Amino acid sequence: MPAWLRDAVFYEIYPQSFNDTNGDGIGDFQGIIEKLDYVKDLGCNALWINPCYDSPFKDAGYDVRDYKKVAPRYGTNEDLYRLFNEAHARGIHVLLDLVPGHTSEEHEWFLESKKADRNEYSDRYIWTSHWIQGIEGHPYIGGEADRNGCYMLNFFKCQPALNYGFLNIKEDWQKPVDDPACIATREAMKDVMRFWLDHGCDGFRVDMADSLVKNDDENKSATGEIWKDIRAMLDKDYPEAAIISEWSNPQQALKYGFHADFYLDHHGNGYNTLLRDYETKGGDRSFLKKDGNGDIMRFLNDYLPKYDATHTDGYISFITCNHDTPRPRRTLDYDELKLMTAMFLTLPGVPFIYYGDEIGMRYLDIPTKEGGYTRTGSRTPMQWDNSENHGFSNAPKDKLYLPTDTSDDAPTVKDQAKDPSSLLNTIKILTAIRHEYEDFRADSSFEVIYAEAEEFPFVYKRGNLYVAINPSDKKSSVSMKKKHEKVFEIGSTEIKENSLLMAPQSFVILR
């Protein structure tokens, strides 16, 4: 386990939208370098950068055309190497996004695989044996290659699936996972990882990590064996490199070699009930919504079994949001956002802050861009100040990658930096506390002290520190066995005799 992950607080950067320094309306590596001091000041000591490889950008870079070359829109490979160095000089680790399950249809491997004559890439992707032979249960494309066959897709039409084999073989064109061609695919991905690690990258967030072997069993055991093999390579040659999975099943992901696994926003799961439980007939029942009358047990009944089963294997990562998820400001106000971030920064695991969430950027209702569809509204330019384009770019508005928030009260870093009570400054205090206290390390102990269905507050213990949160619009209280000293609070709390009294929408850390 890389030691640095214990104290890591990540900041996710969508590079298209972070900071444009050359005036083309799209963010770039130099823009990230210019803002590294801001990231450090925020209290984040690690970055996750969404795909920045050469791509046709039909899926915002998740359709990779060349794994070892960066997209010219962001700069050059040398610019990215410099970013690694500048980040390291500030004590910041950098993860790149690895997309192992598919490539772009324009990738050189796929262009070779499409050819009628057999070559070393013919079986790098999944093909049927005949042009009228489809693929039951999977999306596929026919009629677009000289080759006599149809090829499988991993997601969008532009993303042919790489071939890691099939566990349960049902057709003569399906290859077992130990076929030389499938092993070659795995080794090619390891080669990509080595390339970036050798140039200064500190690891990878892995896209669709559970999607490799097809017809896998319910435990994803065959896909898991691939990741265990990759983890063995990292442990041997790059022991401080981290891999974090987009899997949202830590019982599988962490036991198969990942150091951390994202707790994603899946409808009805524990994370969803905390802040995005608004797709139900009964209205928004999110625990962190002040008038939601939420139920913390809906979260704990999902989270605790996952935590109990995996906390010795790795970390579960809470996210404020990501590039695929509606921003929390869609439904939460600033006070609710403060409580959300306070909770995520004090729970076990490795937390992630999505760029702009630290100032409460809005989710915008805008048309799709580069395959974003409903996700596009969470990918808009960072709002630095109140100058043209909110300081993101000096390009004309019609040249921006995406439009900025034009509301009169659009949040900006500059405005919030001047307000001691702002969301931005609250988060800075919280990250500082997290780094100061060993009790808040990713693997420090966690114990639920008070949690009752449809009751407040929720109280838990990290090491020797107690954390209590009352996100409701009503007063609440809980008995405490002994007197405690406040470390930090949001809102108003009072320790009186043997009770902790909490005002509506309050949070406190006690020692």
Residue 180 within a domain? no
Reply yes or no on whether the pLDDT at 279 is more than 90: no
Tell me, what's the pLDDT at 315?
98
Reply yes or no on whether the pLDDT at 419 is more than 90: yes
Domain count, the chain: 3
CA angle 373, 377, 381 (to 5 degrees): 125
B/e letters for 277-312, b = 16+ CB within 10 Å, e = fewer, are beeeeeebbbbbbbebbbbbbbbbebbeebbeebbe
Is there a single domain that holds both residue 157 and residue 299? no
Is there a single domain that holds both residue 412 and residue 303? yes
Name the token pair of 6: 């214990």
Tell me, what's the pLDDT at 49?
98
**pLDDT-above-70 percentage for the chain:** 100
- d(C-alpha 232, C-alpha 345), whole Å: 30
Residue 170 within a domain? no
Type of residue at 463 = G
Residue owning tokens 């996004």: 97
Tell me, what's the pLDDT at 482?
81
- d(C-alpha 358, C-alpha 352), whole Å: 11
Residue 37 within a domain? yes
Residue 178 within a domain? no
Tell me, what's the pLDDT at 146?
97
Average pLDDT, the chain: 97
- The CATH number covering residue 506 comes to 2.60.40.1180
Domain boundary among 390, 409, 438: 438
Specify the pTM: 0.98
Assign 322 to helix, strand or coil.
coil
- The CATH number covering residue 157 comes to 3.90.400.10
Name the token pair of 194: 């080595």
Phi, psi at 154, each rounded to 5°: -95, -25
Domain boundary among 438, 459, 477: 438
Tell me, what's the pLDDT at 281?
77
What would the pLDDT profile of 25-62 be if each residue is shown by its tens digit? 999 999 999 999 999 999 999 999 999 999 999 999 99
- The CATH number covering residue 40 comes to 3.20.20.80
Residue 245 within a domain? yes
Reply yes or no on whether the pLDDT at 282 is more than 90: no
Is there a single domain that holds both residue 111 and residue 80? no
B/e letters for 121-130, b = 16+ CB within 10 Å, e = fewer, are bbbbbbbbee
Tell me, what's the pLDDT at 388?
95
Residue 464 within a domain? yes
Is there a single domain that holds both residue 62 and residue 120? no
Is there a single domain that holds both residue 59 and residue 120? no
Is there a single domain that holds both residue 275 and residue 343? yes
What would the pLDDT profile of 224-249 be if each residue is shown by its tens digit? 999 999 999 999 999 999 999 999 99
Q: What is the mean pLDDT of residues 133-161?
A: 97
Q: What is the mean pLDDT of residues 69-81?
A: 98
Residue 339 within a domain? yes
Mode of pairing for the β-strands spanning 260-262 and 315-317: parallel
Name the token pair of 76: 């050059």
Is there a single domain that holds both residue 95 and residue 223? yes
- d(C-alpha 142, C-alpha 127), whole Å: 10
- d(C-alpha 97, C-alpha 205), whole Å: 5
Is there a single domain that holds both residue 414 and residue 351? yes
Q: Which domain holds residue 390?
A: 3-99+185-438
Q: What is the mean pLDDT of residues 476-483?
A: 90
Residue 242 within a domain? yes
Q: Three-state secondary structure along 278-320?
A: CCCCCCCCCCCCCCCCCCHHHHHHHHHHHHHHHCCCCEEECEC
Is there a single domain that holds both residue 202 and residue 246? yes
What would the pLDDT profile of 341-399 be if each residue is shown by its tens digit? 999 999 999 999 999 999 999 999 999 999 999 999 999 999 999 999 999 999 999 99
Domain boundary among 389, 419, 438: 438
CB of 96 closer than 8 Å to CB of 119: no
Tell me the residue length of the chain. Answer: 511
Tell me, what's the pLDDT at 280?
74
Reply yes or no on whether the pLDDT at 92 is more than 80: yes
Is there a single domain that holds both residue 396 and residue 370? yes
CB of 464 closer than 8 Å to CB of 446: no
Q: Dump the DSSP string for 156-174.
A: STT-BBB---BSS--STTP
Is there a single domain that holds both residue 341 and residue 355? yes
Is there a single domain that holds both residue 142 and residue 82? no
